Amino acid sequence: MRVDTLADIIFRELDKSISGHESLEVFSIERAKFEGWVKVELVRILRRHFKRIVPEEGHIDIVSDN
């Protein structure tokens, strides 16, 4: 899969996820961190396109099979 295609998929899906969570507005207003939630959402999205997804392998946040 091309990197630009994967980026389009990720951004489209993250936009849907963020739009569906009113509580994330509180995090952005307060400039609070929510990268843990974003990692969970990324794994959910990537599982549809890759056979193997591993969070936190070595010093890398998310690792896939390709």
3-state secondary structure of 21: coil
pLDDT digits (tens, 9 = 90+) for 9-62: 999 998 888 888 888 778 777 777 888 888 889 999 999 989 999 988 899 999
pLDDT at 38: 87
Going by C-alpha positions, the residue among 29, 36, 33 that lies closest to residue 55 is 36
pLDDT at 42: 92
pLDDT at 34: 80
